[in-house]
Every structure is written in structure tokens, then in C-alpha cells.
């Protein structure tokens, strides 16, 4: 059986291989999985990033696992409308924000986890609560900020369990 492709979608002002993506990639590697991280830095518009990602996903042999942070969480969930995915792992996803084309998400996989920080001052935690309730997603809310920089160990532990479940 072919191992699924993991794809990291970084946030608006970040780059592909920051601290979170490196930590999550190391967690995936422990399970024999590798993670790609497309560079979206030259694409400012979230919905243009979705188009770029969908093109990449359509070239894959099988359904990917998408992992995204902030705008990247939106991009991953929006791309799932167009391409079957095995799972979505979303960190402080930028849902229900003005200027984003999509506010109703469809074709989402059953394996869906959302993590957010209570003190996020970029994307309100209520947006993830709304999304998780609507889509019956697993939701974890930490005493942390938008960057979730104080929760790396917890993120990796949850990601490990998520990957084991999705790839079983």
C-alpha cells in the first residue's frame, strides 16, 4: 500500500519550513511518513493559494493528508472541496474571515482535527469552535496564542495520534 502524501500549508506571513512545520514533519518521519511544504510566499491571496494547491493535489497518486496553519488551514480545507483527502489537521485556521471566498466547507474528510489558542488575537477562537461544531471535528483549544508556539509538544502528540488513525 502506498503511503499517503502529507502536505503542509503555511500561513500568510510565514514560510514553508518554520518551527511548527519542522516539528510536525519530524513527528511524521517517526511514523515513516514524509511531509512536503509548498512555498506560497509569492501568492498573497488565499483563494489563489487554493488553486495552486489543487493543481498540485490533482497530480498525486492517492488522497493526501493536508496540514495547515492560519491561512494555510483555510487553504487546506478549501482545497478539500476539489480533491479527496484522507484527513485535515488544522492549526488556528483562518475561517470565516472577511476577504476569503469560502465560508461553507464541503467534501471534508471524516478525519478532521482543529487546534486553536484561547488567546489568539489574529483569528478568533470562536471561528474554530463554529467550524468544529458544524463539521463534528476533533477540537483542541490550548492556553496559547495564534502561533501556538508554547504548545509544540502537545501539537506533535496529537498529530502523532491523528496520523496513526488516518493511516490505519
In a domain, 104, yes or no: yes
Q: Is residue 21 part of a domain?
A: yes
The per-residue b/e assignment along 101-113, b for 16 or more CB within 10 angstroms, e otherwise, is ebeebeebbebbb
Domain that holds residue 41: 10-167
Position 1 confidence tier, pLDDT thresholds 50, 70, 90: low
Model pLDDT, residue 2: 77
Q: Which backbone phi and psi does 134 adopt, to 5 degrees?
A: -60, -40
Q: What angle do CA 23, 39, 85 make, to 5 degrees?
A: 70
Mean pLDDT computed over 11-28: 95
* 4 within a domain of the structure (yes/no): no
106 has pLDDT over 90: yes
Using alpha carbons, list the distances in angstroms from residue 111 to 3, 12, 43, 86, 161.
Answer: 16, 25, 28, 7, 11
Overall domain count for the chain: 1
Assess if residue 107 is contained within a domain: yes
Q: Examine residue 3 and state whether it is found in any structural domain, yes or no.
A: no
pLDDT of residue 21: 97
Can you give the CATH number for the domain in which 121 is found? 3.40.50.1820
Whether residue 99 lies inside any domain: the answer is yes
Amino acid at each position: 500500500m502506498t503511503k499517503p502524501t502529507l502536505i503542509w500549508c503555511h500561513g500568510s506571513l510565514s514560510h514553508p519550513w518554520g518551527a511548527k512545520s519542522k516539528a510536525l514533519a519530524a513527528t511524521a518521519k517517526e511514523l515513516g511518513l514524509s511531509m512536503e511544504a509548498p512555498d506560497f510566499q509569492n501568492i498573497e491571496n488565499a483563494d489563489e493559494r487554493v488553486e495552486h494547491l489543487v493543481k498540485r493535489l490533482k497530480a498525486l497518486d492517492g488522497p493526501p493528508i493536508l496540514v495547515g496553519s492560519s491561512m494555510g488551514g483555510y487553504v487546506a480545507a478549501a482545497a478539500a472541496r476539489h480533491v479527496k483527502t484522507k484527513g485535515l489537521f488544522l492549526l488556528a485556521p483562518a475561517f470565516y474571515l472577511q476577504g476569503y471566498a469560502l465560508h461553507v466547507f464541503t467534501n471534508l474528510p471524516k478525519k478532521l482535527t482543529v487546534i486553536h489558542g484561547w488567546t489568539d488575537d489574529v483569528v478568533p477562537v470562536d471561528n474554530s469552535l463554529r467550524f468544529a461544531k458544524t463539521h463534528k471535528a476533533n477540537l483542541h483549544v490550548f492556553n496559547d496564542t495564534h502561533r501556538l508556539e508554547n504548545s509544540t509538544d502537545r501539537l506533535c502528540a496529537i498529530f502523532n495520534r491523528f496520523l496513526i488513525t488516518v493511516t490505519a
